[in-house]
Amino acid sequence: MALPDVRNTQIYRIDPELLLEKVLGLNVEYQHLSYDGSILGMTSFTEMGVQVFEDDDNEAFFFLDGKTVLVEKDLNFDSKLKGRKNFTLMHEGSHQIFKMLFPNDYGVTQKSAGVHYYKANSERNKPISDWEEWQANTLGAAILLPENLIKQGMYLFSLGEKIEC
């Protein structure tokens, strides 16, 4: 699919917000999702209300319509967090992609019914306990870092053909 905004343009990176909104038809909204910044993103496949917080920490209510990805608002204000913002967008978008591809199988367990939350530091050095979260992490990473763009970047910066440690 060729998007009008990027038609005839060399692609050097995946813009997750553009992908979610223009390709997948999702809405992206930014809210404070927790008092302490521990929740980075959320989405739901059905209509439901979720608790969010105003700038003054007062509790508020946000209505998820089944096609919205909510992202922690503070991720917009620090350029050092751009990667975290992009991954959060793609993680939540990946939940929606899996639901589109497998509507009868994905998100049907008791554990996955309702809202999918992406929490800070949720995947570090832990055994896999939630396969849907693992799948969203894996697909999100694969979309943001496709092999051809990695190789293209390595070529542009004269890094050779292999990544070695």
Q: What beta strand segments (E) does the chain contain?
A: 27-31, 39-44, 47-53, 59-65, 68-72, 115-119
Q: Where are the domains of the chain?
A: 16-137+144-156
Phi/psi class of residue 6: alpha, beta or left (left: φ > 0; alpha: ψ in -120 to 50)?
alpha
* Predicted model pTM: 0.85
The 8-class DSSP code of residue 114 comes to S
Task: Give me the pLDDT at residue 124, please.
Answer: 61
The residues of the chain scoring below 70 in pLDDT are 1-4, 110-113, 122-125, 165
**Per-residue pLDDT, 153:** 85
| Cβ contacts of 72 within 8 Å, gap of 6 or more | 30, 31, 32, 33, 34, 37, 39, 40, 41, 88
State pLDDT tens for residues 114-156: 787 778 776 566 777 888 999 999 999 999 988 888 888 888 8
